[in-house]
Chains A and B, each alone.
Chain A
Amino acid sequence: MSAPESLGRHPVRAVRRPEMGFKERVYLVEVWRGLRITFRHLLVNLYRHARRAAGWAGLPGAVTIQYPDDPAVVAKRARTRHRLLKREDGTPRCVACMLCETVCPAKCIQIVSSESPEVMIEKRPKSFQIDLGLCVFCGYCVEACPEDAIRMDTGQVEMASFSREGMLWKMPDLLGERSRPQ
């Protein structure tokens, strides 16, 4: 089957399926090649397991992460649990502009604003809570924030709770003054 050289301005490239030669048809050669790969993995991994069991340093014999026993490994850029940042004087950076609350597609952020005592800052959050039971971890709140007051870089993924109240993260929890909602 031959394909036309070009179709209008878009060139068409015919990809030929690889055909089986005599070696592949006999299959025993291919079986041998496959077995060589699997045997290599088996022996190398067994050697590494044995080395580790003997207490010597070396590469691990498996890539398995035994999660509940070992900590979860999350990529640095992964969007994880939110945190609120503080200014140098310790007050929250948030100015209660409501941009994150507005942009949130899951409507999980609720901010109550109040007047700020400082002259140059108009408002501050009286309360700031995120319902992590609703949050979809899209990261729009981080993008929307003009003050760099909210980030999703804690690397924490264990947020499950037995109650709905336990999923409501309030300002002290998000600022890191409490480890999780009480």
Chain B
Amino acid sequence: MSEPLFTLIKVGAAVGMGMNIAGLLGWVERKQSAVMQDRIGANRASILGFTVLGLFHPLADLIKMVTKEDFVPPRGMRLWHWTAPALSLACSLLCLAALPYGDVLVWGGRAHSLQPVPLNAGLLFVLAMLSLGVHGVVMAGWSSGSAYANLGGLRAAAQMISYEVSLLVTLAAPLYVYGTLDLAQAVRWQAHPLLGPIPAWGIFLQPLAFILFLTAGAAETKRAPFDLPEGESEIVGYFVEYSGMKFGMFLTNDFIESIVLAGMTTALFLGGWHLPGLWRLGLPQAAAALVGVAVFFAKMLAVLFLLMQIRWTLPRFRFDQLLALGWKNLLPLAMLNFLLTAWGTFLLR
């Protein structure tokens, strides 16, 4: 198989995976919140009498969104109103292509990387794309021609840019340890043994960075308890003037950003595709690589599950609390963590 074609298939699979998991996350969100609140959750959408635990609800949502009126406010800017959700979604979908889903697969005498786009600065690429997402948000607020949407957009931008600083400084410490910006290299580094059976996963080496990263990441991707930019039905956010599938794109974008965050957490802190003791089974190389992909997905879904549980457990922050947490707590802690890491590695070397 030619290399460009294989890359195309990989990127297509990554994006398709992202879209499908995003759709399923809508179902997971409904059902998980229902079960933990002693409810049943959406279970009425049926095809020929089959409800399958409410799994058809994302489908019904999609039909609703596609068939709804696509409204552009008369005072809004048509072009940018249309561009904003596309830009948001495109940025987060591009991130999916840079995640390291698996190790190298040797097939037909040639080595293929299972990372859709193997970049030697993949981490920078993902972070850059996540920060470009701010543009879509501000654009949506500005082009709606509504003061409320505009304020919502500015609020969202303030939040996302604030937490981006913390996110970057937090990541400095594990990157210093791994010594690479390549996500696949970072995963390979984590496969080293640390203490007996414990591998050198980022969560064991950098527990503080793990917590800080999850917190800042949840704020960066606008997930609860930091969902002030959206605020479902309570706060007027940047997409008040959006309806139909354009609104649906913002919604999907949110889920895909969550998936990217979970993938990054898996790659940087949970050892990516690495499973301790897998090499003992003596699987053929191709099979081991594919099992690695499954392991990566299992870890990613576990992180998504945890994020969802946190989302339905914690109350939303106030905006001043949110900014105070970002600038006064997360950023100093991240810097401290980096300093400690630097000193620790200096002393241990």
The answer to whether B349 has its CB under 8 Å from any CB of chain A is: no
Instruction: For chain A, residues 84 to 123, give those with C-beta under 8 angstroms from any C-beta of chain B.
Output: none
A37 to B: closest C-beta gap in Å: 8
User: Are A35 and B310 in contact, with the CB atoms below 8 A?
Assistant: yes
Chain A residues with CB below 8 A from B35, complex form:
41-42, 45-46, 49, 61-62
Complex partner residue of A38 from B39, B40, B312, CB under 8 angstroms: B312
How far, in whole Å, are A98 and B237 apart by their CA atoms in the complex?
59
Chain B residues with CB below 8 A from A64, complex form:
38-40
Chain A residues with CB below 8 A from B13, complex form:
none
Complex partner residue of B36 from A28, A31, A38, CB under 8 angstroms: A38
Among A31, A37, A41, A42, the one with the most B-chain Cβ atoms within 10 Å of its Cβ is: A42
Residue in chain B with minimal CB distance to A25: B329
How far, in whole Å, are A34 and B313 apart by their CA atoms in the complex?
6
Instruction: For chain A, residues 19 to 59, give those with C-beta under 8 angstroms from any C-beta of chain B.
Output: 28, 31, 34-35, 37-39, 41-42, 45-46, 49
The answer to whether B211 has its CB under 8 Å from any CB of chain A is: yes
Residue in chain B with minimal CB distance to A61: B35
User: Are B38 and A62 in contact, with the CB atoms below 8 A?
Assistant: yes
The answer to whether A3 has its CB under 8 Å from any CB of chain B is: no
The answer to whether B37 has its CB under 8 Å from any CB of chain A is: yes
How far, in whole Å, are A34 and B225 apart by their CA atoms in the complex?
13
User: Are B309 and A38 in contact, with the CB atoms below 8 A?
Assistant: yes
User: Are A62 and B313 in contact, with the CB atoms below 8 A?
Assistant: no
Chain B residues with CB below 8 A from A35, complex form:
309-310, 313
Among A39, A41, A49, A62, the one with the most B-chain Cβ atoms within 10 Å of its Cβ is: A62
The answer to whether B32 has its CB under 8 Å from any CB of chain A is: yes
Q: Chain B 293-324, CB within 8 Å of chain A: the 1/0 string? A: 00000000000000001101110000000000
